[in-house]
Amino acid sequence: MKIALIAHDGKKADMVHFLSRFRDILEKADVNLVATGTTGSHIEKSGFEVEKLLSGPIGGDAQIAAMAAQKELDMVIFFRDPLDKHPHEPDVQMLMRICDVHNIPLATNPASAELMLKSL
């Protein structure tokens, strides 16, 4: 199973905390993690193995969308910051649309991500 992880700047700490809470589930389910660059660096520092792509604003969101379009992902967890402006918002919208088109589960907050991980 491969899960893509993305977190806007204001949500990166939340992502690391969230993953730490579910470390056992992720290890038992033999999950491979892939993340945008900066998010991946934060996740890696907390002891997780993660494949790091480009940073979101310079193409990482698009790389994850391409993986979703090619059915290489089983799930996407994207902790968005709805109260901040993001210059790469078109890439974010494209990623969400691609997940919908290809029926890939997408969690945009910890509550929905928790439900998805508990189903593993």
Residues marked as catalytic: 61
Binding residues for substrate are: 8, 12, 36-39, 55-56, 88
Amino acid identity, residue 37? G
Among candidate residues 27, 32, 37, the one with its CA nearest the CA of residue 6 = 37
**Who contacts 116 (Cβ-Cβ below 8 Å, separation ≥6)?**
75, 77, 105, 107
DSSP 8-state assignment for residue 48: -
Q: Residues within the annotated binding site?
A: 8, 12, 36-39, 55-56, 88
